[in-house]
Structure 1
């Protein structure tokens, strides 16, 4: 990681910490639409254990737990994960939810072939370089069991904020304090190399609205990239 990349990463972590602290439960209690889709996709492949990357304060992790999955929720914000744990206790599902503070620029804290499914809502399109995104997907492949499912969402280059705000290079633009790596279709396809790409579904979310893709891909063979 270059000095500029490290500076941006640290600034974004501090920004998210402050945001979760000032706006507890900022995304509400209802699950995201991609999480509802993912739960159905995970059931279809017989998944029981779900790893969520970038879980934040936990609306989707809690939904997976209520749906009967065992969940490991990771995020680089201890503030968000504290809110998640408190909500899990309040809902009496704490036995189904484990949290871990983790920066996805580092290897995932899990053994090879140890989870059934992985979910990431707008995590891959944070302030990550293309190289870091590829390394993360390789880690997802490593920790998934054969036949496992990976569902992720990303903002794409058709989004209204693409090209707006502060440019950081590598299709990363910062607007309102939030840095986003906007995906083109070539990047989605390259991340699916060696996977079974089930779906690239366009959808909109929020008041702008944000324009995203929901990607579902499954691991059909054992081994790492």
Structure 2
């Protein structure tokens, strides 16, 4: 199945029906072919609004959740963005059309290698992928204007909060990995942090350390 005009139209309709209304986000998601990030037996489901398995026991999030998280992040063209949990690379690719610079961190070397290959094929020169412990952030490049976490933490991680610029926004799923989680929007102010609950979600857990694969 290809991301032809018909598939794009249905894809965008599904996004809008699920609350993704920001034109810049919709334009970015129209430009990024999700099929480039799905492999194996699930390629024919690439444009369905559902999460799909990828290597290393991870998943590629359903498009509507990608859209809603990106929308909540309110990325501007001047922003430097940190993504924790590269996975397939799909979310970082969407962010690349919205931000000045995207740094994405993943604990599985295989996923980073595969994502880098797709970024190169798509000419996404403003995305840099690292194999690292995402729970610790990326101190060498901090502070960040926006931080997006695509794995669930019990609380917004302290190292990531510390790397968020004043006025910056972080979107992160919070909750136990075996129960319903809540997507949280954190805004850093001069006085501290403001927290807004967005919706219920389900993500893989945010783990410390580097994966073995």
Shorter-chain TM-score tier: 0.5 to 0.7
- Aligned CA distance change for structure 1 residues 101 and 33 (closer, same or farther; 3 Å): same
SS of the equivalent of 2:96 reads: helix
Among residues 197, 200, 203, which one is paired with 1:200 in the alignment?
Answer: 197
Q: Which residue of 1 aligns with 2:30?
A: none
The answer as to whether partners of 1:85 and 1:99 remain within 8 angstroms in 2 is yes
- Write the distance in 2 (CA, Å) between the matches of 1:108 and 1:54: 11
Q: Which residue of 2 aligns with 1:96?
A: 126
What is the CA deviation profile of residues 59-106 of structure 1, one whole-angstrom value per residue up to 9, with x for unaligned ones?
10011113344111101011111111111111111x11101111235x
Q: Which residue of 1 aligns with 2:10?
A: none
Q: Which residue of 2 aligns with 1:138?
A: 158
- Write the distance in 2 (CA, Å) between the matches of 1:37 and 1:73: 19
Q: Which residue of 1 aligns with 2:139?
A: 110
- Aligned CA distance change for structure 1 residues 74 and 55 (closer, same or farther; 3 Å): same
SS of the equivalent of 1:73 reads: strand
Among residues 80, 93, 98, which one is paired with 1:67 in the alignment?
Answer: 98
The alpha carbon displacement at 1:153 in A equals 2.5
The alpha carbon displacement at 1:117 in A equals 0.4
- Aligned CA distance change for structure 1 residues 74 and 33 (closer, same or farther; 3 Å): same
1:153 matched to 2:181? The reply is no
Structure 2: gaps of 5 or more residues:
1-53, 205-213
- Aligned CA distance change for structure 1 residues 27 and 65 (closer, same or farther; 3 Å): same
- Write the distance in 1 (CA, Å) between the matches of 2:111 and 2:148: 17
The alpha carbon displacement at 1:181 in A equals 5.0
The alpha carbon displacement at 1:113 in A equals 4.8
- Aligned CA distance change for structure 1 residues 56 and 76 (closer, same or farther; 3 Å): same
- Aligned CA distance change for structure 1 residues 39 and 201 (closer, same or farther; 3 Å): closer
- Aligned CA distance change for structure 1 residues 32 and 70 (closer, same or farther; 3 Å): farther
Q: How many pairs are equivalent?
A: 149
- Write the distance in 2 (CA, Å) between the matches of 1:22 and 1:35: 19
The alpha carbon displacement at 1:141 in A equals 1.5
1:20 matched to 2:55? The reply is yes
What is the CA deviation profile of residues 10-38 of structure 1, one whole-angstrom value per residue up to 9, with x for unaligned ones?
xxxxxxxxx61699xx638xx73343234
Which 4+ runs in 1 deviate beyond 2 A?
A: 31-47, 66-69, 180-185, 201-204
- Aligned CA distance change for structure 1 residues 113 and 201 (closer, same or farther; 3 Å): same
- Aligned CA distance change for structure 1 residues 89 and 202 (closer, same or farther; 3 Å): same
Q: How does 1:117-136 map to 2 (within 5 A)?
A: 117-121=146-150, 123-125=151-153, 130=154, 133=155
- Aligned CA distance change for structure 1 residues 184 and 119 (closer, same or farther; 3 Å): closer
1:82 matched to 2:113? The reply is yes
Q: Which residue of 2 aligns with 1:159?
A: none
